[in-house]
Amino acid sequence: MLLPVLDIYTAFGMVALSAWTLLGVLWLLGRRFWAQGVPYVMAAAFCFGVAYWLFAIQKSLPPAWAMTGAHLCISVAIALLAIGYQRFRGQQWSLTDAITLGLPLLLLFAGMVAAPSDMSLQVRLRGVLFIGQLLWQLHVLLRATRGSASLGWKLVVAGLLVQILALMPLVIYGERQFVPAANMGIKLLLPWMMSMVMFLNLQITAYGYLRMLQDRQHEAERKAAGLDGLTQLPSRRTLMEHVPTAMALAEKEGSSLGLLVLDIDHFKKVNDRYGHVAGDAVIQHVAWVLRNQIREQDFPARYGGEEFVVLLPQATSDIVYSTAQRIAHAVHAEVVAHDDERIRVSVSLGAHLQKVHAGLCWEEMLAVADAALYEAKNTGRDRVVLSAAARAQVMASPSPAAGTTSQQCRNG
C-alpha cells in the first residue's frame, strides 16, 4: 500500500503562520498585562514563526544556512519565553536574563566552529541545548506558582513537557528528520507529526499563558474584594472565612493559636473634635502599625469600626505578649498628622492564647479576648491585658521578661 505524499514544507509553513497569528491574539488579549512579560512572549512567538518559515523555504536557501538560522531563532524564542515568565514572577531584568539569552547563542556558535562540516552532529547538539533551555524554563515556571497551580500554569507546563519530548528525535536522528526522504514515505511521518505537535503546542502555550494572566487578575480581584476599603486589611468577612482553616491547622499541628483584640481609645472624641476624615486617618495609622509589627504568618483584620483582630498561628505566650506590647507601643509612640493638627493615639488590647482542640469554638476564644479588652478599657486604657490562660503561660515562661510581666501592662 502506497502512503500519501506528505508536504513537510507546508506543515512547517502552517506552524510559522500559527505563530505569527498568535502575535495578534497576544496583543489583543494580553496588552493590559504588558508589564507581566507579554512583550517577551510576543517576541518569542515571532521568533518561532521565523524559524519555521526558514524550515518551510529551505529548498530555496543553502540547507546549512536555513537550518542554522532556524535553530538560532528557536533558541532565542525559548530564552525569551523564560524571560517572559520571569517578568510574570515580578522579577526585574537581571544578569540571569542576559545569561538566559546570551549563553545559548554562544554555545550554538561554538558548535558551529567545533564541527563546521558535520551538520548531523550540530543538529544533535542543538537538540540537547534546546532541551536544556526548556528545563530552565520549567524551573522558572515552578518558581512562578505559589500554592495550588492554576489551570493556565498546568497548560503551559504540559506544553513545555510535550516540547521536550518532541525534541528527542532531533537528538536521536539529527539532520535526517528535517531532510525529506527520497520516497516521501514513512520517514516523513516523523517531521510531519512533529510539526503538528508544535502547531498544537503553540496554541496551548499561548492559551495557557493568557489564562495564567487572567487567573492572577481574578485572584487579585478576589483578594481585593475581601479587603477593607479604608485600611486594605482583610475584612471581618474574610477573617471569618480564614478562622476555620487556621483552627484546623493548629489542631492538626497540636499548636496554640494566639488572638489579639484591640480598640482605639477615645475614638468617638477624635471624630467629634477633628472630624471623620481625621478619624479615618487614625484608623489607617493603626492598620499601618499592625502590618509592620506582626509576623508574616499572622492574620490581621479590621473587625468593625475602630476595632481590629489579629490571629497568631503557631504562637507561644512570649509571642502573644511581645506582639501585643509592640503594637501598643508603636501606636502610642507616633502622632497622626492631619491638616495642622497632631493627634495622639493609643489602643487597648486584649490578648488570649489557646491550645486548639476538637470542639473548640471561635466564639469562645473571641469572648475570652473581648473580656480582656474590656478590662483594659475599664482600668485606664492604653494597655495590654492578658487573659487568665495567657497570663498563666507568660508567668510560667522561662524567659527573662516573664518574671516582670503583670496582667495589666501600661505603655508610655
What pTM value is reported for the model? 0.62
Q: What is the pLDDT of residue 51?
A: 92
- Strand-pair partners of 308: 262, 302
CATH of 236-410, picked from 3.40.50.2000, 3.90.1170.50, 3.30.70.270, 3.40.190.80, is 3.30.70.270
Single-letter code of the amino acid located at 118: D
Q: What is the pLDDT of residue 339?
A: 83
Ordered per-residue pLDDT tens for the chain, 412 residues? 444 445 778 888 888 999 999 999 999 999 999 999 999 999 999 999 999 999 889 888 887 788 889 989 999 999 999 999 999 988 899 999 999 999 999 998 888 888 777 777 887 888 899 999 999 999 999 988 765 578 899 999 998 998 888 888 777 766 554 444 444 444 455 566 667 777 788 888 899 999 999 988 887 877 777 889 899 999 999 999 999 999 999 999 999 999 999 999 999 999 999 999 999 999 999 999 999 999 999 999 999 999 999 999 999 989 999 999 999 999 999 899 888 889 999 999 999 999 988 888 999 999 999 999 999 999 999 999 998 877 776 666 654 443 333 345 455 4
Q: Are 372 and 291 in contact (CB under 8 A)?
A: no
The contacts of residue 134 (CB under 8 Å, 6+ apart) are 78, 160, 163, 164, 167
Q: What is the pLDDT of residue 403?
A: 33
* Homologous superfamily in CATH for domain 8-225: Rhodopsin 7-helix transmembrane proteins (1.20.1070.10)
Q: What is the pLDDT of residue 29?
A: 92
Give the chain as a 3 state SS string: CCCCCCCHHHHHHHHHHHHHHHHHHHHHHHHHHHHHCHHHHHHHHHHHHHHHHHHHCHHHCCHHHHHHHHHHHHHHHHHHHHHHHHHHCCCCCCHHHHHHHHHHHHHHHHHHHHCCCCHHHHHHHHHHHHHHHHHHHHHHHHHHCCCCCCHHHHHHHHHHHHHHHHHHHHHHHHHHHHCCCCCCCHHHHHHHHHHHHHHHHHHHHHHHHHHHHHHHHHHHHHHHHCECCCCCCECHHHHHHHHHHHHHHHHHHCCEEEEEEEEECCHHHHHHHHCHHHHHHHHHHHHHHHHHHCCCCCEEEEEECCEEEEEEEEECHHHHHHHHHHHHHHHHHCEEEECCEEEECCEEEEEEEEECCCCCCHHHHHHHHHHHHHHHHHCCCCEEEECHHHHHHHHHCCCHHHHHCCCEEECC
Distance CA 309, CA 332 (A): 18
175 is catalytic: no
Q: What is the pLDDT of residue 122?
A: 81
From the list 251, 306, 334, 341, the catalytic residue is 306
Q: Where are the domains of the chain?
A: 8-225, 236-410
Q: What is the pLDDT of residue 281?
A: 94
Please check whether the two domains, 8-225 and 236-410, share a CATH topology. Answer: no
Q: What is the pLDDT of residue 36?
A: 93
